[in-house]
Amino acid sequence: MRQPLVAGNWKMNGSKADAAALINGINAEMNKITKTEVAVCVPFPYLYLAEQLLADTSIRYGAQDVSREDSGAFTGQVSAAMLLDFGCHYAIVGHSERRMFNAESDVIVARKFMQAKKLGLTPIFCVGESLEEREGGQTETVVARQLDALLELGGIDALANGVIAYEPVWAIGTGVTATPEQAQEVHAFLRHRVAANSAEVATGLRILYGGSMKPSNAQELIRQPDIDGGLIGGAALKASDFLAICHASEALA
C-alpha cells in the first residue's frame, strides 16, 4: 500500500518567526500522526531553520523549486546539491506558478526533475490544466503532455517511488476545489498512463491532489482510490488547518 503524503507548499509567505512558529506548531502534534507522511516545502531562506527545527522529527522538508544545472554562473538559482546540504528530502518542480510566472516549459520542468532525482532528492512533479483548458475538454491532453515530457527525458524509471501532484490551476488559491470525482478521474488517468509503461511503477507512484484542499474537503478527496494525499497551499500556513488535513488522511490510512 502507498503511504499517504500530506505536504505543505508555503509559497512566498511568512517571516522567519512565522516559519518557526508554524514548524513548531505542526511538530507539537506529530506524535498523533503515525501513518501519514508529513512534509513542508518552505521558502529557500528558511531551509536552515527547517534543518535546525526538524532534525530529530518525523517531518520531512524540502524546497519549492530547484535548478536544472549542477553549479556555476546561474544568478539567483539554487542547486540540488545545496538543497541536500540543508537536509532537504523534497523539491517541488513544475508548479503552475513557476510554469506561468517564470515561463518554465515542459522540457525545463523535466530537466529540473531529473537533476533533483540524480542528486538524490525526491521531486514532487506538478501537473494540471487551466480553466480554459478544462472547459475546452483539454484536461487529459494537457496533463498527458506534461507527463510525457518527463517520460521522454527520464524514462519510466524516473517515476519509481515517485510523487506527482495533480493541481488544476483553476482550483489553486481560488477556494474552488475539484470535486472528488473530477480529481479521481485525472489521478486514474495519470496512473494508467504510467502503468502503460510499468505496472509496478504505477502501483508505487503517489499522486497528490492540490488546489484549495482544506480541512472540510480533505477526507472526501483523499478517500478516492487514486488520491494518495495532498499538496496544500493556503491551508498549510496555519498549523491547526494543516494538522486537520493530516488527521483526515490518518483516519483513512
Binding residues for ligand 13P (CB under 6 A): 9, 95, 167, 172-173, 210-213, 231-235
The least distance separating ligand 13P from the CB of residue 127, rounded to whole angstroms, comes to: 12
Which three cell numbers mark 187? Answer: 489521478
Catalytic residue among 37, 129, 167, 250: 167
CB-wise, 95 or 117, nearer to ligand 13P? Answer: 95
Report DSSP state, residue 4. P
187 is catalytic: no
Selecting among 37, 95, 104, 250, the annotated active-site residue is 95
**Distance in Å, CB of 249 to ligand 13P, minimum:** 15
* 156, HSE (Cβ side, Cα atoms, 13 Å): 16
CA pair distance 125, 158, nearest whole angstrom: 11
In whole angstroms, how close is the CB of 233 to ligand 13P at the nearest point?
2
Q: Of the two residues 27 and 177, which places its CB atom closer to ligand 13P in the complex?
A: 177
How many CB atoms neighbour CB 193 within 10 A?
Answer: 16
Say how many Å lie between the first and final Cα of the chain, rounded.
10
**From the CB of 224, what's the least distance to ligand 13P, in Å?**
17
Among this protein's residues, is 89 annotated catalytic?
no
Identity of the residue numbered 82: M
Q: What is the residue type of 89?
A: H
Three-state SS at 164: strand
Q: Which are the catalytic amino acids?
A: 95, 167
